[in-house]
Amino acid sequence: MKTANLNSRRKFMGAVLMGATASTLSMITNPMHASMSSFDDKKFAAADDWFKNIKGKHRIVYDGSTPHNGFPIIWNWAFYLSNNETGASDAEITAMTVLRHNAIPFALKSEVWKKYKLGEVFGVNDNATQAPSLRNPYYEPKEGDFPMPVIQGIKDMQQRGALFCVCNLALSVYSGVVAQKMGLDAKEVYQEWLDAVQPGIQVVPSGVWALGRAQENGCGYIFASN
């Protein structure tokens, strides 16, 4: 990948973030947030290379833009289940879920959920208490976390070859919103969220970028609604 192209992408991502904060997240006004979405050459290369993990004849990418009661993960599991039932092994299947916009907390560790009240921020309730969740219910789910039984969470699906990635653009914007609301340093909160991304989940420049890359690598597209 040429340096000129990378510089153009970084400028584009910064511009997108600045536009988003101006139009939909007006409480962030400091332009420093634009730098948070920038990927250096190494990060862009790593994100591109990650798509080489897509394998098999049966390939799908789920657009997980909202929590939808865990359906961005449920449909990933269902794709494996239905293809297994029609004769395909896990080795012939790749289901990818792109966690972007309001679904980004599903990529994060429970410690961050509790500290920053992410269940309240993103509208995710704990089914056991009906209160905003203080943990990630879908990475290693407990009984009753999903709205239906016998569903594997992100960690188990990764072991079967499923792929999950998370939008860096959304991480930077939402961490900035939360930081300002709590009177904290935005850069520090962003870095804490970035460090809290669960093992094996790839951070990508943006969710829409990843959806495009997945389709370029042979994945069909499905919006992960319920």
% of the chain exceeding 90 in pLDDT: 79
Query: Which tokens sit at 72?
Result: 């961005």
Percent helix / strand / coil, the chain, rounded to 5: 55, 15, 35
pLDDT of residue 38: 65
Q: State the fold for domain 3-223.
A: Hypothetical Protein Ychn; Chain: A, (3.40.1260)
pLDDT of residue 39: 75
What residues in the chain have per-residue pLDDT under 70?
1-38, 226
pLDDT of residue 25: 47
- Report the alpha-carbon distance of residue 199 to residue 180 in Å, rounded: 28
pLDDT of residue 127: 92
Which is nearest to 59 in space by CA: 99, 88, 95, 97? Answer: 95
Helix (H, G, I), strand (E, B) or coil at 81: helix
- Report the alpha-carbon distance of residue 160 to residue 180 in Å, rounded: 39
Which is nearest to 55 in space by CA: 26, 90, 86? Answer: 90
pLDDT of residue 20: 43
